[in-house]
Amino acid sequence: MDVPNDVKKEAWSYFKGYQTVMLATAEGGHPRVRPVTLINYDHNFWVATGTNSAKVREIRGNPNIEFCLQFQGEAGGGYVRVAGLGDVVTDQGPKEKLFAHTSFLADYWEGADDPSYALIQIIPVEVEYMRPGDIDAQRFGV
């Protein structure tokens, strides 16, 4: 996993603000994949969801997750796949901070103290990056 820093920086550069990614969790040993809005804020990745969502239940049962961002470049398609841990946030501080920063959350919840609002922090462990036009992905630890 000896990847140059400029390649690592390039891989991370695809994450800006809010993006739809495919999030994989596990339920009873079976993968569950769905699109989510990934929020890149304050040097962290977050997913806002309902407290009763399958994502919350699955992450509480098994925190191992992956998400994948696909994109098109001049040389073709590429992706960044991130493996890591999901943590259902119980501290009200980050929930309030993210709610204040992310205006579209008010379309779904009344406020950061809304009992149906859950926040998941994604803690990256490993990244797989496929540059547009390449046929081999590069992996590196975080």
The dotted CATH code for 5-141 is 2.30.110.10
Radius of gyration of the chain (CA): 16
- What is the tens place of the pLDDT at every residue in 73-91? 787 899 999 999 999 999 9
Q: Is 17 left (phi over 0), alpha (psi -120 to 50) or beta?
A: left
Contact 121, 65 (CB under 8 A): no
Domain boundaries, the chain: 5-141
- What is the tens place of the pLDDT at every residue in 35-83? 999 999 999 999 999 999 999 999 999 999 999 999 987 878 999 999 9
pTM, whole model, 2 decimals? 0.93
Identify the three-state secondary structure at position 8: helix
Element (H, E) at 68: strand 64-73
Instruction: Indicate the burial class of 137 (C-beta count within 10 angstroms; 0-12, 13-18, 19 or more).
Output: middle
